[in-house]
Amino acid sequence: MARLGRVVVEAIVLHYGRHEVLRRLAHPFWFQSFGAVMGMDWHSSGITTSVLGALKRGLGPLQHELGIYVCGGKGAHSRKTPLELTTIGERTGFDAPALVRASRLVAKVDSAAVQDGFDLYLHGFIASVDGQWCVVQQGMNGARREARRYHWLSENLQSFLDSPHTAIEGSNQGAILNLADARAERNRRAGIDLVCEGPDRPVAVLRQLRERGNTALSLFPDIETLPSPTAPHLQMPAHHEVRAADVDLRRLHAVLAAAAERGPRDFTDLLLTSGVGARTIAALSLVAEVLHGAPARFSDPARFSMAHGGKDGHPFPVPLTVYDETIRVLKRAVEQAKLGNDERLEAIRRLDEQARLLEGRVTGPSFDGFVANERARASE
pLDDT tens track for 153-174: 999 999 998 889 999 888 777 6
In sequence order, what DSSP letters do the residues of 156-219 get, joined into one string?
T---SSSS--SEEES---S--EETTSGGGHHHHHHHHHHHHH-SHHHHHHHHHHHHTT-----S
Domain boundary among 196, 224, 259: 196
**Residues composing the chain:** 380
Same domain? For 32 and 175 the reply is: yes
230 falls within a domain = no
> Each residue of 235-287: pLDDT tens digit?
677 788 889 889 999 999 998 888 887 766 776 665 555 556 788 889 999 99
Query: Which residues lie below 8 Å from residue 25, measured CB to CB, with a gap of 6+?
Result: 31, 126, 134, 136, 151
Which pLDDT score is estimated for 72? 97
Q: Is 57 helix (H, G, I), strand (E, B) or coil?
A: helix
Summarize the confidence of residues 282-303 as an average pLDDT: 90
Mean of the pLDDT values across residues 281-307?
Answer: 91
Does residue 221 lie within any of the structural domains?
A: no
- 73 and 155 part of one domain: yes
Q: Are 115 and 138 in contact (CB under 8 A)?
A: no
pLDDT band at 212 (very low <50, low <70, confident <90, very high): low
Residue 208: inside a domain: no
Domain assignment present for residue 94? The answer is yes
Statement to judge: residues 338 and 190 lie in one domain: no
Residues 157 and 21 in one domain: yes
Q: How far apart are the first and last CA of the chain?
A: 21
Does a structural domain hold residue 152?
yes
Give the per-residue pLDDT at 201.
73
Last residue of a domain, one of 196, 211, 233: 196
249 lies in the same domain as 112:
no
Q: Whose CA is closest to 24, among 112, 110, 134?
A: 134
Q: Are residues 303 and 159 in the same domain?
A: no
Boundary residue ending a domain (161, 196, 231)? 196
Class of residue 136 by CB neighbours under 10 A (exposed 0-12, middle 13-18, buried 19+): buried
| Per-residue pLDDT reduced to its tens digit, 183-196 | 888 888 887 777 77
Determine the Cα–Cα distance for residues 163 and 169; give it in Å rounded to an integer: 14
- Domain co-membership, 51 together with 140: yes
Contact (CB, 8 A) for 74 and 136: no
**Residues 94-138: pLDDT tens digits?**
999 999 999 999 999 999 888 888 999 999 999 999 999 999 999
Burial class (CB in 10 A: 0-12, 13-18, 19+), 221: exposed
Same domain, 140 and 278: no
**How much is the pTM?**
0.85
Q: Is 183 exposed, middle or buried (0-12, 13-18, 19+ CB in 10 A)?
A: middle
Domain span holding position 148: 2-196
Is 213 part of a structural domain of the chain?
no
What is the tally of structural domains in the chain? 2
Q: Are strands 119-128 and 167-169 parallel, antiparallel or unpaired?
A: unpaired
Same domain, 93 and 173: yes
Cα dihedral sign, 88-91-97-98: negative
Average per-residue pLDDT for the chain: 87
Has residue 356 been placed in a domain?
Answer: yes
> Is the same domain home to 77 and 149?
yes
Name the pLDDT band for 223 (thresholds 50, 70, 90): very low
Residue 215 lies in a domain: no
**How far, in Å, CA of 319 to CA of 279, rounded?**
10
